[in-house]
């Protein structure tokens, strides 16, 4: 997605902004949507039917097919937020601000799913949904940080001020990702540490490995689809707000002009 990849709509009376948002769809989003839908069906078939149980983990291996892509997408979304935040502080353009916010929202969604399926894994593996071990502590801090980012963005403030504060938080928050990722290596905990690319067990092979990478690929495509729609929705919302503000100003000016004209007419008709 580029700065020119924005939805088009007829311009308003002032010739500056479209008066009413039309939609967030395009040929690209429709293609990505179809690929995502078919991919999710394939992941469900491979993950629940074709892929065999693991020799050690048994049926719980199927949770991994959800856990790996959700955490990977969440990390990617948060990194995009940080990069876009840096770009916003440099360029001061609306594009980067909206991209950072849109990516953060989707990242929080996928990270919440990560925590949920991680809890399911913990219940089966450890006997409890949650234990305060190093990986889960740093995960909690990371999740709360990005929740705070979204809260800051929801506070009424000037656009530039909101964008600047949010950008600083978005840059600082991403530092916790490598800490969370390496927590199992730096501190002793219950979470497994053996991995390929930090997420996939290197002993996995055959259908299990294929299903894992299939789900990872499909969720990346799904993320791209969601990000494009959320960014465009944010952009259209800003345009609608601008149009509403311009309309309100025009109405107030018309009212003021009418009041002034009435007073002049009254004064001219007086004896």
Which single residue is written with the structure tokens 């991994």? 64
Mean pLDDT of 162-166: 93
Mean pLDDT of 91-112: 95
Mean pLDDT of 87-113: 95
Q: How far apart are CA 181 and CA 186, in angstroms?
A: 10
Burial of 42 (C-beta count, 10 Å sphere; 0-12/13-18/19+): middle
Between these two residues, 215 and 195, which has the higher pLDDT value? 215
According to the model, what pLDDT value does residue 260 have?
Answer: 56
Residue 199 has pLDDT above 60, yes or no: no
According to the model, what pLDDT value does residue 45 have?
Answer: 95
Long-range contacts of 191-194 (CB under 8 A, 24+ apart): 191/133, 191/134, 191/135, 191/136
Residue 235 has pLDDT above 50, yes or no: yes
Number of neighbouring beta carbons within 10 Å of residue 65: 22
Burial of 206 (C-beta count, 10 Å sphere; 0-12/13-18/19+): exposed
179: tokens are 């800490």
Least confident segment among 29-38, 45-54, 211-220, 253-262: 253-262
Between these two residues, 29 and 256, which has the higher pLDDT value? 29
Residue 66 has pLDDT above 80, yes or no: yes
Residue 32 has pLDDT above 60, yes or no: yes
According to the model, what pLDDT value does residue 16 have?
Answer: 47
């Amino acid at each position: 997605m580029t700065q020119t990849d924005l939805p088009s709509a007829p311009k308003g009376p002032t010739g500056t902004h479209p008066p009413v948002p039309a939609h967030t769809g395009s040929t690209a989003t429709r293609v990505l949507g179809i690929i995502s839908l078919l991919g999710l069906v394939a992941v469900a078939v491979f993950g629940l039917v074709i892929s065999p149980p693991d020799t050690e983990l048994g049926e719980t291996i199927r949770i991994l097919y959800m856990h790996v892509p959700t955490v990977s997408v969440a990390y990617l979304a948060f990194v995009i937020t940080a990069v876009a935040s840096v770009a916003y502080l440099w360029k001061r353009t609306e594009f980067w601000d909206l991209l950072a916010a849109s990516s953060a929202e989707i990242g929080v969604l996928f990270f919440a799913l990560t925590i949920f399926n991680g809890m399911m894994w913990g219940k089966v593996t450890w006997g409890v949904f949650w234990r305060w071990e190093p990986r889960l502590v740093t995960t909690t801090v990371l999740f709360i940080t990005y929740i705070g980012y979204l809260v800051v963005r929801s506070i009424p403030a000037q656009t530039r001020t909101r964008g600047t504060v949010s950008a600083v938080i978005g840059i600082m928050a991403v530092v916790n990702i490598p800490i969370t990722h390496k927590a199992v290596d730096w501190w002793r905990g219950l979470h497994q540490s053996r991995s390929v690319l930090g997420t996939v067990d290197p002993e996995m092979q055959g259908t299990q490995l294929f299903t894992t990478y299939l789900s990872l690929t499909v969720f990346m495509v799904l993320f791209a689809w969601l990000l494009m729609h959320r960014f465009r929705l944010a952009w259209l919302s800003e345009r609608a707000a601008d149009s509403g503000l311009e309309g309100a100003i025009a109405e107030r000016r018309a009212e003021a002009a009418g009041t002034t004209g009435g007073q002049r007419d009254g004064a001219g008709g007086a004896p």
